[in-house]
Chain A
């Protein structure tokens, strides 16, 4: 039977249906990876989620073809009269499907990680994702074999793939975004789509162990069911004891794993290095209030952001998974603006990546949220630079991270504009354009232009005595340097 399994695996590996899934998985994974900064502990998840679905559909169709093959090729009668028990033959075929599916997924996963590493991704990938994705593919392939064998219809087999995907879609979308929901239904999908992930803290929450058990249980049940069904009417039945063991093990694993998955929260917000502070969130995980109601909240010290770059004036540290290159980019973006404020009290000298929030400040530390940094999709390099500078200015000038939290026309906005011009981040002409055309920001831009007309050192010296009032939001624009004619 080993020879049959090997032969079937070889057949399946050459299946155009499976390769169609591989091509789509490669395209989708490449697209997803292009949207995110490279990190091995992150791209492993992208390879799993983006690749698992099309590959699963391909495995299902390839499995369905295998299930149909005897009937289509007219070999069904021939197979029926061979002395080998049908369940043994189909068991070998299932093993062949499993081997091909696992091999395909493993190769795809490895290629994705190699690409990530070549792009500069660092860190340690989670190999449980490899196991989970491979198992999802095996389940898809076995479901396909079962559908093909039982229906004997090509059309039903074709429809099985979209039905599989539609089921997945409903399970996934039936979860998040539904108000008043207490169960995480989306975790029951064959391929998980976790919303919370950090290169330093991993999956938040971590559903992988229960999901592995759940998938393994389902796979055993589907395999056992198929073997029972193919041996119907044959004198050689599946031995009862091993079958019972498989059925009970499958049911227990699927039941316990599924139950555990349902009770997990949608997202676990890491509010500190201490696990006791992690906050489960169900439903609207993106609301700012989910992190903290306190606008002055900041992430406590942890020792995860260890890839650093910078100088005595400013140091930027990110999670090692993103590599020092990201730290250098952050520093390069913020350093010119930081240089403008050098010597003023309380200005940040350190930048640290944190797993949550929208940008927070902790004393002289700028806290940059990992989620916003990791996904630069649709952002130009210039926009990314401005994002980093925005985080810095927020902390340097005591601005809130909550948009529109302070009135337009605040002196701090004028100082922000001035810092951008003085550091060479934006040209003076751009600011002049705002001053001349924008009725909302015009007065602030005009004040900033007046400051920019003075030497930077002089503005800094003039700001020093009023600095604390400025940061507290109590300084009128008229008291800024260069405002008196």
Chain B
């Protein structure tokens, strides 16, 4: 029952479109990464392209994807759980794309596939998380714009305070900010995702929907239903 409901709730997301986006992104990024003659620039293109891929995360939670929100929130399956499922699906899709391209680009400018993944995956995650949170409050367009603003803002802050700002989007393996940037970006992204899901759960609670309990996959047989006082 719950699985059917979950499937039903995953359905409004244009997964086919997102799959095309992820695959198309891989192809276009691979093509663009071959344009610069400087191999270092190819890596830059790949890492920045990962930000663009993350924009797909806005669709998952935007109000226009599921117009009748309050109806969905009032259903037995907690709505935030559905959002988390969608997010997991999208992260899986995007990660596969990033991994494939990283393997394909391995060795470019001395970057190993592992380092390419470390350099690009947090970028994808950050934009996905920011877009997910902002889109759940505004729209696909608002989420995308906010996600892009987060990236630009982090980049500007990193350039303004290179000594102490922990996230440096241009950091390279072995550089002073490499490890810290990865950790902070992932931590920040997880915080944004948690904030989005928590806000959604609270919205569900306000409607009187129990958020913590997961409904039993099977309804209790009538014989076991306790009579009320």
Which residues in A have some Cβ–Cβ distance to B below 8 Å?
Answer: 16-17, 20, 23-24, 27-28, 31, 34, 54, 57-58, 61, 64-65, 68, 72, 154-155, 157-159, 161-163, 166, 169-170, 173-174, 177-179
A16 CA to B142 CA in the complex, in Å? 8
Query: Does B35 contact A170, Cβ atoms closer than 8 Å?
Result: yes
A-B CB pair tally, cutoff 8 Å = 77
**Interface size range on B against A:** 20 to 34
Q: Is the CB of A31 within 8 A of B160?
A: yes
Q: Sorted from nearest, which 4 A-B pairs have the closest CB atoms?
A: A158-B144, A154-B140, A162-B52, A24-B152
- Within the complex, the shortest CB–CB distance from A449 to chain B, in Å, comes to 34
Q: From B37, B58, B141, give the contact of A61 (CB < 8 A).
A: B141
Which chain A positions have C-beta within 8 A of B183?
none
Residues of B within 8 A of A161 (CB): 144-145, 148
Give the secondary structure class of A's interface.
helix
Chain B residues whose C-beta falls within 8 Å of the C-beta of A154 in the assembled complex: 62, 64, 139-141
Q: Which residue of A has the minimal Cβ distance to B131?
A: A158
A57-B153 Cα distance, complex, nearest whole Å:
14
B197 at interface by CB-CB < 8 Å: no
**B residues with CB within 8 A of A:** 17, 21, 32, 35-38, 41, 48-49, 51-52, 55-56, 58-59, 62, 64, 139-146, 148-149, 152-153, 156, 159-160
Specify which chain B residues have a CB less than 8 angstroms from the CB of A27 in the assembled complex: 153, 156
User: Which A residues touch B56, using CB under 8 A?
Assistant: 155
Task: Check A24 against B145 for contact (C-beta < 8 Å).
Answer: no
CB of A73 to closest CB in B, whole Å: 12
Question: Can you identify 5 A-B contacts, CB atoms within 8 angstroms?
Answer: A20-B145, A23-B149, A24-B156, A155-B17, A162-B55
Contacts of B49 in A (CB 8 A): 166
Contact A162 B159 (CB under 8 A): no
Q: CA separation between A166 and B58, bound complex, in Å?
A: 20
- Contact: B141 with A65, CB < 8 Å? yes
Most buried by A among B149, B153, B159, B160: B149
Most buried by B among A24, A155, A170, A174: A155
Q: Is the CB of A170 within 8 A of B32?
A: yes
Q: Which residue of B lies closest to A170 (CB)?
A: B35
Residues A162 and B152 in contact, CB atoms below 8 Å apart: no
CB-based contact B159/A31 at 8 Å: yes
User: Which residues of chain B have C-beta atoms less than 8 A from A54's C-beta?
Assistant: 152
List 16 other contacts, CB 8 Å, given A154-B140, A158-B144: A17-B141, A28-B152, A31-B156, A31-B160, A54-B152, A72-B64, A154-B62, A155-B56, A155-B58, A155-B144, A158-B58, A158-B141, A162-B52, A162-B55, A166-B52, A169-B48
